[in-house]
Amino acid sequence: MHPLFAHISQEVAITPDDFNQTLHYFDHIHCKKKQLMIRAGESVSRQYFVIKGCLRSFLIDDHDREYTVQFGIENWWMSDFTAYFTGAKSILYLECIENCELLAISKSSMDKLYTYVPTLEHFFRQKLERAFVSFQKRIISNLHKSAEERYYDFLAQYPDIEQRVRNYQIASYLGITPESLSRIRTGRTQKG
């Protein structure tokens, strides 16, 4: 079964014929490790469904510090969604952490797809609602939880990802230094 078909079918009913037509709106692409799919300051015309691999979105401040916003693993959707939906320039970079196999769809193709397969509009609305809830929970977590609690939340959201990403990327996602992350991990192993 195609990974995107399985992903969509978990949420809404879609016929195999509708799915085959749906695939025509996507570009199937392969990307190399460290390849940038989006650069800050550019227009963003596509979002990506991860078939295989791992990506991360991040921003760089005026002091060249990186802040990881999101990781994307199999069955996740990635883009700079603010730029994608509003037409504004991207503030994020989207980088392949591993070699990736992706499906890419443009905003105009997505709008056509909604007309052709209306159940997909419902599917993507549900995805956006969940993403909004997830981002709001993360903001609230960053405001009042300890770094250790945020680390455990991270492990719950991204199980088994620690072997796929670098320590400084996890630390930047959590808003802590790599040294603080190391201390949290050391404390975790001592408790276990």
Considering the entire predicted model, what is its pTM?
Answer: 0.90
Nearest to 151 by CA among 98, 96, 189, 188: 188
- Quote the pLDDT of residue 188: 67
Block means of pLDDT (10 residues each) for the chain, length 192 residues? 91 91 95 97 96 96 93 94 95 97 96 91 90 88 90 86 90 93 81 59
- Quote the pLDDT of residue 105: 97
Rg (CA), the chain: 18
- Quote the pLDDT of residue 191: 62
Nearest to 85 by CA among 131, 29, 150: 131
Q: Residue 13: how many CB atoms within 10 A of its CB? A: 9
d(CA 53, CA 105): 18
Q: Where are the alpha helices (DSSP H) in 24-76?
A: none
**CATH code of domain 3-118:** 2.60.120.10
